[in-house]
Amino acid sequence: MIRLDGAGVRFGARWVFRGLDLSVKEGACLALLGPNGRGKTTLIRSLLGLQPLHEGGRAAPALIGYVPQAGNLPARYRVLDMVVMGRARSIGVFGAPGRDDYDAARSALTRVGLAALSERSFSVLSGGERQLVLVARAIATGAKTIVLDESSSALDLANQNHLLALIRDLTRDPAFTVIFSTHHPQHALHLADDVAMLMQGGILRGPVDTVLTEENLHKLYGVEVRRIPVPGGSDALVPMLDRLPTPGNTFR
């Protein structure tokens, strides 16, 4: 299990969140939704232990696989070396990767469908391929808790579909606990068990089918949304583009 108990983070005098209780049990999948500037990344970093808490506490596994956005990462390494970096904890500060580490990295690349690119430079990959390499790196750690921070935000439709299919496969494996933040409520609807919506006055948390309502999405984003049944598939969440956002919920 990974959790925050009465957690609070502030920057200067402004509290991003305070008194927050949030837990994710083993084998579950939680989606984090919220407008820009509402604190999704800060919450992710707090769960990872990268953001110090100003109040409250955190409990988490010793090993967590983290998938950041690929934009600002060093690109001069081979794909295989980028994935082997996920083995740093087991290798140690002064150690060198061994056969087991490279085997774990190759296995992870096979799982994400990029085994054929292992010798290629990370710098020449597309945005979607880079993101999948980072997922492979998180898997190669051996962690059973995987946390993804808006990993699909800069991807085209085809690469989004590939990445989401991979996340779906992880969520179907009871050995993995998955937490991901996204700008797309549709992704939460299709992949997550629970959703945590970062509302103006706090977090609204619960099962996807209960919490992802038209009313709650309107409160969260200031945009009218319709949840429409799709024959032969899951529901679709459709924004009503002919209506202007509510004042105060535009670009942040």
pLDDT in tens, 190-223: 999 999 999 988 899 999 989 999 999 999 998 8
pLDDT in tens, 81-134: 999 998 877 776 667 888 899 999 999 999 999 999 999 999 888 888 888 999
Backbone angles phi, psi at 88, to 5 degrees: -55, -40
Ranges assigned E (strand) in the chain: 2-11, 14-24, 29-33, 55-59, 65-67, 145-149, 177-182, 194-199, 202-207, 225-228, 236-239
Give Cα 209 distance to the centre of its chain. Answer: 20
Domains plus CATH for the chain?
A: 1-61+144-212 (3.40.50.300), 71-143 (no CATH)
Handedness of CA 241, 242, 246, 251 (dihedral sign): positive
- Kindly report the pTM of this predicted structure: 0.87
The answer to whether 33 and 198 have CB atoms below 8 angstroms apart is: yes
Residues 6+ apart with CB under 8 A from 65: 86, 137, 138, 139, 141, 143, 145, 146, 147
pLDDT in tens, 146-159: 999 988 877 788 88
Backbone angles phi, psi at 169, to 5 degrees: -65, -40
